Amino acid sequence: MSDTSDKAWSGRFSEPVSDLVKRYTASVFFDQRMAAQDVRGSLAHARMLARQGIISQDDFTAIERGLAQVAEEIAAGSFVWNLDDEDVHLNIEKRLTALIGDAGKRLHTGRSRNDQVATDIRLWLRDTIDTLDGLLADLMRALLEVAETHAATPMPGFTHLQVAQPVTFGHHLLAYVEMLRRDRERFADCRKRVNRLPLGAAALAGTTFPIDREFVARELGFEAICENSLDAVSDRDFAIEFCAAASLVMVHLSRFSEELILWMSPRGGFIDLADRFCTGSSIMPQKKNPDVPELARGKSGRVFGHLMGLLTLMKGQPLACNKDNQEDKEPLFDTADTLVDTLRIFAAMAPGIKVKATAMAAALKQGYATATDLADYLVKRGLPFRDAHEAVARAVRAAETQGCELAELPLTELQSFSPLIGADVFDVLSVAGSLAARDHLGGTAPNQVKAAIARWRATLGAD
Ligand code: ARG
C-alpha cells in the first residue's frame, strides 16, 4: 500500500489527502454531537445483521460490548476525536475496531455512511422535537399563570399601534398561547416525516445482503421506513420542515418580544421585567434594558437564515446523496439550540412580568377605546351601523376638541349626535362594560378569558 494514511477509504488513493482538504471536508467537530444516535443506530444494525445470519453471534456480542465502551468514553469525555477520521461515523468505527478487532470491521456490512448519517440526523431531530414540545408546553403554562392573574386587567388593544378597543391583559397573553399551540402541532406533524428509517438504503441502491429493515425500524422506534433507497439517502426535506416550523416559533417569540419591549418603554410603561432578565448600560447609569426580548427578536434572523440555507442546500441537488448534505447539520443544530435557549428563557421570564394596571388604564382613557361600543349601542336602538359610525365619529371629534373622554361629555351633548342616546349610555362607555359585553367564545370578557384558561389547563394537564 503506497498510502501513508489509514483512512477507511484510502486503498483507492495513491497519496494522502492534503491537510487543507482534510480540514475542509471533515465534519467530526460538529457531527460528534450525534454520537449517541450513531451508536444506537449501529447497535440496531449489528443486531439485525446477526439475526439475519449476515454476521456471527460472536461478532455481534463483541460489537455490543465495544459500542458500550465507546459510548461510555464519549459520555465521560475521554473519547479522542480525530480529524483524520473525518466524521463521527468513522471515528466511532475506528475506535470500535481498535477495541474489538475484526468484528468492528464487519459492522459496516450492508450499510453506507449515507444511510447511516441520514438515520443519525433523524434520531437526533426526533429527540430534539420532543424536547422542544416540552419546552413549548412549559412556556404555555407560564403564560397561562400570568393570564390567570390578569384575566380581568384592562389594557388598550391596538390596531396600527393606535388604541382600538379595550382587551384584558390575560386575553392578550392567550393569543400567544394559541400561537404556541400551533407551533407544537407543526412540530408534531413534522415529527411523523422525521420518524422514518433510511437505514438499509446503503449508499443509494440498497444492498445485496438479506437485511430486515422492519426489524431495524422497530429497534429504533421509527414509525415507518423510507421506501425508496435513492430518496432515503438524499432528501433533507424533513430538516427543512423542521426549520420552517422553528422559524414560525421565532416569528411568534419575536412578536412577543417586540411587545414586551414596547410595553416596558417609558412611553408605554405597561409592564416591568424582573431585573435578572434585564441589563444595564455601561455609560448611562439610569438604564434598564430589555436585552433578553431584544436578543430573541434578533435571533429570529439566524433561524430564518438557516431555513434559507437548507432550502438553498437542497435546491438543484441531483439524486442521490452528495457531499453538499454534510452542510445540513450546523444549521439544524444551531436552530435547535436557539429555540431551546429562547423557549427556556421566556418560560423563566414570564412569571416576572410585572403588570402596571394603572398605566394601562390611563392609556385606555386617552384613546376613545369605547367608541365602537357606542356605535353598537346605537345599532341596538335601530340605527344602521354606518349611520351610527358617523354619529360616534362626530362625538369623538367634539370630545377631542374639548380634550375630554366620550364619557365626560354631558348627556345633552351626546344626544345632539343622536337622539337615540339615553342615560344608560354611560354603562356602555365604561371600560368594564365594554369588556364584559364581548361575552362569547374567543371574546375578551373576563369570564370568557377565565373559561379559556380552564380549557387550556385541561388540555395542557394531559401533556
Ligand atoms: N460526514 C458525511 C455527512 O455528514 C457522511 C456521509 C458520507 N457521504 C459522503 N458522500 N461522503 O453527510
Please tell me the distance between residue 110's alpha carbon and the centre of ligand 1 in angstroms: 16
The pairing of strands 196-197 and 224-225 is parallel
Neighbouring residues of 214: CB distance < 8 A, sequence distance ≥ 6: 225
Please tell me the distance between residue 15's alpha carbon and the centre of ligand 1 in angstroms: 21
CA 88 to ligand 1: nearest atom: 1
Atom 3 in ligand 1: residue holding the nearest Cα: 326
Helix, strand or coil for residue 279?
strand
Question: What whole-number distance in Å separates Cα of residue 23 and Cα of residue 20?
Answer: 5
Atom 5 in ligand 1: residue holding the nearest Cα: 113
Residue 199 phi, psi (nearest 5): -55, 140
Which of 30, 317, 325, 333 should be mutated for ligand 1, with most atoms under 8 A from CB?
Answer: 325
Please tell me the distance between residue 327's alpha carbon and the centre of ligand 1 in angstroms: 9
What are the helix (H) ranges across 195-328?
A: 213-220, 229-234, 237-264, 291-314
The pairing of strands 354-355 and 154-159 is unpaired
Please tell me the distance between residue 306's alpha carbon and the centre of ligand 1 in angstroms: 20
Cβ-based burial of 332 (10 A; exposed 0-12, middle 13-18, buried ≥19): buried
CA 27 to ligand 1: nearest atom: 1
pLDDT score for 5: 55
Residue 154: its H or E element: strand 154-159
Question: For 76-91, b where at least 16 C-beta lie within 10 A, e where not — what string?
Answer: eeebebeeebbbbbbb
- Closest among 187, 198, 189, 60 to 123, alpha carbons compared: 198
CA 87 to ligand 1: nearest atom: 1
Question: What whole-number distance in Å separates Cα of residue 460 and Cα of residue 463?
Answer: 5
Please tell me the distance between residue 64's alpha carbon and the centre of ligand 1 in angstroms: 24
For each of the domains in the chain, give its residue range(s) and CATH number, in order of start.
23-109 (1.10.275.10), 114-145+158-358 (1.20.200.10), 362-462 (1.10.40.30)
Which of 88, 121, 230, 323 should be mutated for ligand 1, with most atoms under 8 A from CB?
Answer: 323
Pocket lining for ligand 1, CB < 6 angstroms: 27, 31, 87, 113-114, 117, 321, 323, 325-326
Which of 81, 87, 115, 199 should be mutated for ligand 1, with most atoms under 8 A from CB?
Answer: 87
Question: What whole-number distance in Å separates Cα of residue 94 and Cα of residue 8?
Answer: 9
pLDDT score for 3: 41
Please tell me the distance between residue 341's alpha carbon and the centre of ligand 1 in angstroms: 29
Atom 1 in ligand 1: residue holding the nearest Cα: 87
Is this model's pTM higher than 0.85 or not? yes
Question: For 31-56, b where at least 16 C-beta lie within 10 A, e where not — what string?
Answer: bbbbbebbbbbbbbbbbbbbbeebbe
Question: What whole-number distance in Å separates Cα of residue 103 and Cα of residue 59?
Answer: 5
According to DSSP, residue 319 is labeled S
Please tell me the distance between residue 113's alpha carbon and the centre of ligand 1 in angstroms: 6
Please tell me the distance between residue 61's alpha carbon and the centre of ligand 1 in angstroms: 28
Atom 11 in ligand 1: residue holding the nearest Cα: 323
DSSP secondary structure string for all residues of 55-83: S-HHHHHHHHHHHHHHHHHHHHT-----G
Question: What whole-number distance in Å separates Cα of residue 445 and Cα of residue 287?
Answer: 37
Residue 98: its H or E element: helix 88-100
Segments of the chain with pLDDT less than 70:
1-5, 462-463
CA 31 to ligand 1: nearest atom: 4
CB 70 within 8 A of CB 38: no
Residue 162: its H or E element: strand 162-168
Q: Which residue has the cell 459496516?
A: 108
Which of 12, 38, 114 should be mutated for ligand 1, with most atoms under 8 A from CB?
Answer: 114
Question: What whole-number distance in Å separates Cα of residue 220 and Cα of residue 44?
Answer: 7
Atom 2 in ligand 1: residue holding the nearest Cα: 326
Atom 8 in ligand 1: residue holding the nearest Cα: 114
Atom 9 in ligand 1: residue holding the nearest Cα: 323
Cell, residue 401: 376638541
Atom 12 in ligand 1: residue holding the nearest Cα: 326
The pairing of strands 154-159 and 162-168 is antiparallel
Active site residues: 160, 281
pLDDT score for 286: 84
Please tell me the distance between residue 323's alpha carbon and the centre of ligand 1 in angstroms: 6
pLDDT score for 2: 39
pLDDT score for 463: 63
